[in-house]
């Protein structure tokens, strides 16, 4: 039986991808961001998933306004990186898992989630940036990826509740797949940001931190956040956070928060990241550790660094 | 026909890309999509007004493209992920466009972001009705100890 061994959420800011592609990761501004994912890469190297299901949104790359599927499941054997106007990112072609994807499609549609099946699709920074953050920049991605593209561009996106329930249905599908596969579920996008209109640049760290707290402790509460509140409190594009709830819905009600990272800004955006694992009641865990963020050299970046929190809750 | 009013129209400085704007801005967004191809970028750059005739834009929309009035483009149905392709054709990043849309210089905008971004305080509502409730909310325990005074909202574009 396949099973979901963990959930990972992360922002997918395009400028993070550009910083990787342009070899700027050691610059103080970017080091502050990338240092928060060092532990995550170690965690991922140990977790060694057989498959990743990655929830993200397309940014006018694979889907224009000609067709706007609310939920589109990538069932192809491979997904090339899209040209987003600067040439395709120099990252490996994403290999899919067509058998598991087909199984998920069949299962969730009969569970009344009328998803769109996609057999040809390019993937943009929404998918490739989180892959880099968690797997680094290898020649080939270490495991197949099933992309699940969610419309959060054309209003209204699916509700948070709907996303959460889709996560539940995906879990059921995964657990009814006969092969023993260890699956990690990614929810990506966010956190607070607005990149459009005169209010661009909006960041709401208080909202973000509460969202992270409740993602672990009380996700049902998050499923009741109306779209208006996401847009008002976390910025017009902050509504992407509904995608994190697909990931959360695929996990147990009670989870262990393994790792968390938050920093402002990366370009226009608050970067948030969390790793959740199923709760292991009996298993003893080492005591909580805290790791301080590395201090960037340039003084201009110090205040931003001061807001950067790396929190290793359990490891 | 006047645009139907929606609850989110109360958010200041924000043009939500909804179904109505999508209908209205189809030409803008498809024009922007065409800029994904290098040959089209070259044709556009060679004669912008002529190139735009291939798309069913209103005179207002055409003017907004020619003037690179990014806020007006959003108001007339463009979406930022599409209009960003127009920006990319001019060699500009998302952050560059964001600075333009806020009326800031590039340096001012970059400094604002480094200092933690634009605060939501005073930027929630045009009408001032919204009192800044947050159901993403305080974590349950913290809510008791960290009760804050009700926030006063003001309208404004920040």
A233 contacts B98? CB cut-off 8 A: no
Identify the pLDDT of residue B82: 97
| Coil vs helix vs strand at A212 | helix
CB A96 within 8 A of CB A79: yes
Residue A187 CA to residue A242 CA, distance in Å, equals 9
Q: Phi, psi at residue A94, to the nearest 5°?
A: -80, 120
* Neighboring chain A residues of B127 at a CB cutoff of 8 Å: none
Which of the four pLDDT bands, split at 50, 70 and 90, describes residue B156? Answer: very low
Q: Is A59 a catalytic residue?
A: no
Task: For residue A308, give the chain B residue with the closest CA.
Answer: B116
Q: Phi, psi at residue B35, to the nearest 5°?
A: -75, 0
CB A5 within 8 A of CB A277: yes
| Coil vs helix vs strand at A263 | strand
Q: Is A193 a catalytic residue?
A: yes
Say which of B32, B101, B113 has its CB closest to residue A265: B113
A198 contacts B158? CB cut-off 8 A: yes
Q: What is the DSSP letter of A248?
A: H
Q: Tokens at residue A123, please?
A: 């993937």
At residue B137, does pLDDT exceed 80? no
Cα dist from B77 to A43, A232, B3, B48, B74, whole Å: 43, 20, 12, 20, 5
Residue B14 CA to residue B11 CA, distance in Å, equals 6
Q: Phi, psi at residue B54, to the nearest 5°?
A: -70, -15
CB A238 within 8 A of CB A268: no
Q: Which contiguous run of DSSP H or E holds residue A94?
A: strand A94-95
User: What pTM was computed for the model?
Assistant: 0.88
Q: Which of A225, A220, A103 is nearest to A158 (CA)?
A: A225
Number of helices and strands (H, E) in chain B?
10, 0
Q: How far is A264 from chain B (nearest CA, A)?
A: 6
Residues 6+ apart with CB under 8 A from A210: B134, B136, B137, B138, B139
Return the biggest CA–CA distance within chain A.
56
Could you say which residues from 152 to 191 on chain A have a Cβ atom under 8 Å away from some Cβ of chain B? 153-156
Enter the ipTM.
0.89
| Best residue in A56, A199, A227 for a mutation probing chain B (most B CBs within 10 Å) | A199
Which of the four pLDDT bands, split at 50, 70 and 90, describes residue B157? Answer: very low
Q: Produce one character per residue of B71-89: b if its CB has 16 or more CB atoms within 10 Å, e if not.
A: bbbbbbbbbbbbbbbbbbb
Exactly one of A12, A97, A103, A193 is catalytic; name it: A193
Look over chain B and give the mean of its residue pLDDT values, rounded to a whole number: 85
A202 contacts B116? CB cut-off 8 A: no
Within an 8 Å CB–CB cutoff, is residue A232 touching chain B?
A: yes
Residue A236 CA to residue A192 CA, distance in Å, equals 9
A195 contacts B94? CB cut-off 8 A: yes
At residue B100, does pLDDT exceed 80? yes
Say which of B26, B98, B103 has its CB closest to residue A65: B26
Cα dist from A175 to A1, A264, B35, whole Å: 6, 37, 43
Q: Phi, psi at residue B108, to the nearest 5°?
A: -60, -45
Say which of A211, A231, A265 has its CB closest to residue B8: A231
Render each residue's pLDDT in chain A as its tens digit; 315 residues.
Answer: 999 999 999 999 999 999 999 999 999 999 999 999 999 999 999 999 999 999 999 999 999 999 999 999 999 999 999 988 778 999 999 999 999 999 999 999 999 999 999 999 999 999 999 999 999 999 999 999 999 999 999 999 999 999 999 999 999 999 999 999 999 999 999 999 999 999 999 999 999 999 999 999 999 999 999 999 999 999 999 999 999 999 999 999 999 999 999 999 999 999 999 999 999 864 444 444 444 444 444 555 666 666 676 655 554
CB B13 within 8 A of CB B158: yes
Within an 8 Å CB–CB cutoff, is residue A237 touching chain B?
A: yes
B116 contacts A60? CB cut-off 8 A: no
Please report the number of interchain residue pairs, chain A to chain B, with beta-carbon separation below 8 angstroms: 194
Q: How far is B102 from chain A (nearest CA, A)?
A: 4
What size, in residues, is chain A? 315
Return the biggest CA–CA distance within chain B.
63
Beta strands A269-278 and A255-266 are antiparallel
């Amino acid at each position: 039986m396949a099973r979901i061994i963990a959930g990972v959420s992360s922002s997918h800011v395009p400028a993070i991808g550009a910083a990787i592609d342009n070899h700027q990761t050691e610059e103080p501004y970017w080091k502050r961001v990338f240092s928060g994912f060092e532990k995550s890469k170690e965690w991922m190297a140990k977790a060694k998933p057989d498959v990743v299901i990655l929830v993200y949104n397309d940014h006018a790359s694979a889907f224009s306004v000609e067709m706007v599927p609310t939920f589109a499941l990538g069932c192809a054997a491979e997904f090339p990186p899209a040209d987003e106007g600067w040439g395709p990112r120099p990252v490996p072609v994403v290999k899919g898992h067509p058998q598991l994807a087909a199984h998920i499609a069949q299962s969730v549609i009969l569970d009344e989630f009328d998803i769109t099946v996609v057999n040809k699709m390019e993937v943009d920074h929404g998918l490739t940036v989180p892959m880099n953050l968690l797997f680094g920049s290898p020649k080939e991605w270490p495991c197949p990826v099933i992309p699940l593209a969610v419309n959060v561009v054309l209003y209204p996106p699916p509700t948070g509740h709907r996303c959460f329930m889709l996560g539940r249905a995906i879990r059921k599908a995964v657990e009814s797949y006969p092969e023993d596969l260890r699956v990690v579920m990614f929810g990506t996008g966010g956190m607070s940001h607005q990149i459009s209109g005169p209010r661009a640049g909006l960041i709401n760290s208080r909202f973000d931190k509460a969202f992270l707290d409740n993602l672990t402790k009380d996700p049902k509460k998050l499923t009741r956040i109306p779209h208006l509140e996401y847009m008002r409190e976390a910025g017009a594009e902050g509504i992407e956070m509904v995608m994190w709830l697909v990931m959360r819905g695929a996990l147990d009600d009670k989870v262990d928060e393994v790792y968390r990272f938050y920093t402002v800004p990366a370009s226009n955006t608050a970067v948030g990241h969390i790793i959740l694992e199923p709760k292991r009641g009996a298993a003893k865990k080492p005591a909580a550790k805290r790791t301080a963020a590395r201090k960037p050299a340039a003084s201009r970046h110090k205040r931003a660094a001061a807001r950067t929190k790396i929190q290793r809750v359990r490891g | 026909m006047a645009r139907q009013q929606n609850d989110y129209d109360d958010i200041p400085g924000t043009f939500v890309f909804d179904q109505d704007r999508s209908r209205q801005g189809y030409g803008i967004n498809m024009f922007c999509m065409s800029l994904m191809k290098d040959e089209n970028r070259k044709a556009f750059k060679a004669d912008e007004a002529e190139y735009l005739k291939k798309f069913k834009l209103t005179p207002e929309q055409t003017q907004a493209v020619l003037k690179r009035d990014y806020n007006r483009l959003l108001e007339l149905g463009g979406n930022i992920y599409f209009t960003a392709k127009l920006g990319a054709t001019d060699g500009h990043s998302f952050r560059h466009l964001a600075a333009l849309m806020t009326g800031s210089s590039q340096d001012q905008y970059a400094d604002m972001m480094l200092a933690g971004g634009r605060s939501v305080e005073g930027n929630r509502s045009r009408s001032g009705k919204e009192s800044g409730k947050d159901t993403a909310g305080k974590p349950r325990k913290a809510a008791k100890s960290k009760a804050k005074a009700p926030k006063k909202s003001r309208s404004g574009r920040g």
